Amino acid sequence: MTENFCYPLYAEPYRPQYHFTPPAGFMNDPAGLVYWNGWQLYYQYNPFNMTAGYPSWGHAFSSDLLHWQNLPIAIPTGPDGQIFTGSAIVDTENTSGFFSGTGLVAIFTLSKPQKEVQDIAYSMNGGVTFTKYERNPVLDLDYPNCRDPKVFWHAPTGRWVMAVALPQARQILFLASYDLKEWRHLSHFGPVGIEACEWECPNLLEVPVEGSNEKKWVLLVGINPGAPLGGSINIYFVGTFDGTSFQSEDATVRLMDFGKDYYAVQTFNSAPQDEAVAVGWASNWQYTQVVPTFPWRSAFSIPRILTLRKSASDTGTLLVQKPISLESLRDKTLFEGPALLGTDPLSISLQGNASFEFLTTLVVQADRDKTQSRLTIDILNAASEKVTIGYDWAMGRIFVHRGEALGFRHPSFLPYFEATCADTGSSLQLHVLVDHSMLEVFVNDGLHVCTAVFFLRDGALTEMSWRAEHGSVRAADLQVYTLKSTWK
């Protein structure tokens, strides 16, 4: 597809319809997610160009995490340095002294040619605009690289905690403050794990363990460059945080996603039910500045609720990600009920909708050697370009193939992703979100996730084709729904 000025905004080819994208320009990290009178979403934004540069804090607001209202730039990049990633907090007790009641404070990296320091700014109008603290920076360690402060309230010690990255050292520093202005060093975590990378965009939070009243601390870290599949990806560690230091349960580095397009993940501060709601940037630094979208580049993942699950097959505690409910967006029902899948394809027309979701539990039938079954779901356009999701019972692997979508070629735009699902027996649970150029695959109730963007050359998606080889598979309660645009 070629650039085309004829489309109305939010109706261009490739434009996701229920995911957040900026109106125009280039977006990267979520940078300041906070609930205050609604969901406030700040993000790294270059409104002038479709490539990275001069990042400001873009801003959008939502009351349901699905319908977003674009707002003016909240913190513009200025002559003193570039406004990089950070976080936002609700200062309910006015610990900062900026307010007469409650107010919003942003904490972010000011990136200058010789060093990166941490600044704060406060908002007197509900987060629409911010005033920089006149005695910035609040943290200057005199390092050329030190960035992406994530600040949150640590109730047991009654103070603010900051996690900030030292990218080349592959360390996360922890600091504490009573007023957001004076910061005291507490401890550091790392280096650990994959060596050929830098650490960025930390996020430390408590996450509930499924089926218990327990919570554990989770440290999310962005690694770039040098992710196992190239470029950027998020890793996580599960452990304890006593208000001073973070200890990981084990030294295993676990990936949040088995695709290539889930980075700089951040969770909302002050979520109403204290739930852990995460949003990631659905792209990769290796190709994000050349993907064929116009006049915007990059989308955010669907917001996801995080929980922890004790692994049945591994000694560790694993992160689980489930998309927020999209039921309110469901429009047409394209399929509902059981389906027996064999070599004859089951075809489901998308009836002109390239934004949809489907859910099912797939159960291998005992008609052949059930360990050999292989299921494939092709999602195609009229020119037979496609993305494919499949599961191979012989290998115990889920796979996603985007190589037959022909609208974009790049050496780092890998076509194929896979993950071993040691937790799958004869049945596999799938929940898949498709949105024009976005694919999010949630396997076994969110235990394995693949986020992948894809670009068709010759028209939007038109149908799905399901089939099983080497033995049949029953799709129990298959549900396929089109989803309404949140931008119309």
Q: Which residues are catalytic?
A: 29, 200
- Residue 119 within binding range of ligand FRU, rule CB under 6 A: no
- 83 binds ligand FRU, rule: CB under 6 A: no
Q: Binding ligand FRU by CB under 6 A: which of 34, 201, 265, 432?
A: 201
Does position 109 interact with ligand FRU (CB under 6 A)? The reply is yes
- The least CB distance from residue 226 to ligand FRU, in Å, is 13
Nearest residue (CB) to ligand FRU, 44 versus 353: 44
Residue 311, SS3 per DSSP: coil
280 membership: H or E segment, kind and range: strand 277-281
Report the b/e string of 79-91 with b at 16+ CB within 10 A. eebbbbbbbbbbb
Pair type for strands 25-35 and 296-297: parallel
Q: Which two tokens stand for residue 311?
A: 């692994």
Q: Among residues 60 and 320, whose Cβ is nearest to ligand FRU?
A: 60
Find all residues with CB under 8 Å of 252, minimum gap 6, and list them: 193, 316
For residue 284, the minimal CB distance to ligand FRU (Å) is 10
Scanning residues 334 to 363, which ones bind ligand FRU (CB under 6 A)?
none
Q: For 344, phi and psi rounded to 5 degrees?
A: -80, 120
Nearest approach, Cβ of 109 to ligand FRU (angstroms)?
6
Out of 186, 264, 428, 453, point to the residue binding ligand FRU (CB under 6 A): 264
Q: Which stretch of DSSP H or E encloses residue 241? A: strand 233-241
Q: Of 288 and 376, which has the nearer Cβ to ligand FRU? A: 288
Q: Which is nearer to ligand FRU, 13 or 167 (CB)?
A: 167
Nearer to ligand FRU, 56 or 388 (CB): 56
Nearest by Cα to 125 from 74, 77, 84, 179: 74
- From CA 180, how far away is CA 165, in angstroms rounded? 18
Min CB(153)–ligand FRU separation in Å: 22
User: Closest separation between CB of residue 145 and ligand FRU, Å?
Assistant: 9
In angstroms, rounded to a whole number, what is the distance separating the alpha carbons of residues 483 and 431? 14
Give CA separation, 332 vs 348, 355, 461, 483, 486, in Å: 13, 11, 16, 8, 15
What is the smallest separation between the CB atom of 21 and ligand FRU, expressed in angstroms?
17
- Residue 27 or 379 having the CB closest to ligand FRU: 27
Interface residues for ligand FRU in 120-139 (CB under 6 A)? none
* Interface with ligand FRU, residue 27, by CB under 6 A: no
Residue 56 contacts ligand FRU per CB under 6 A: no
For residue 429, state whether it binds ligand FRU (rule: CB under 6 A).
Answer: no
Size of the site for ligand FRU (CB under 6 A): 13
From 14, 15, 18, 29, residue interacting with ligand FRU (rule: CB under 6 A) = 29
**Residue 203 found at the interface with ligand FRU (CB under 6 A):** no
Is 32 or 390 the residue whose CB approaches ligand FRU more closely?
32
Is 200 one of the binding residues for ligand FRU (CB under 6 A)?
A: yes
Q: Structure tokens of 104? A: 């919003």
213-248 CB burial, b ≥16 within 10 A, e <16: eeebbbbbbbbbeebebbbbbbbbbbbebeeeebeb
Query: With binding defined as CB under 6 A, does residue 227 bind ligand FRU?
Result: no
Regarding 55 and contact with ligand FRU (CB under 6 A), the answer is yes
When asked if residue 25 is in the footprint of ligand FRU (CB under 6 A), the reply is no
Among 68, 84, 262, 455, binds ligand FRU (CB under 6 A): 84
Please tell me the distance from the alpha carbon of residue 66 to that of residue 485, in angstroms, as a whole number. 10
- 26 interacts with ligand FRU by CB under 6 A: no
156: left (phi over 0), alpha (psi -120 to 50) or beta: alpha
**Cβ count near 193 (within 10 Å):** 17
Distance CA 350, CA 271 (A): 35
Residues that bind ligand FRU (CB under 6 A): 28-29, 44, 55, 84-85, 109, 147-148, 200-201, 222, 264
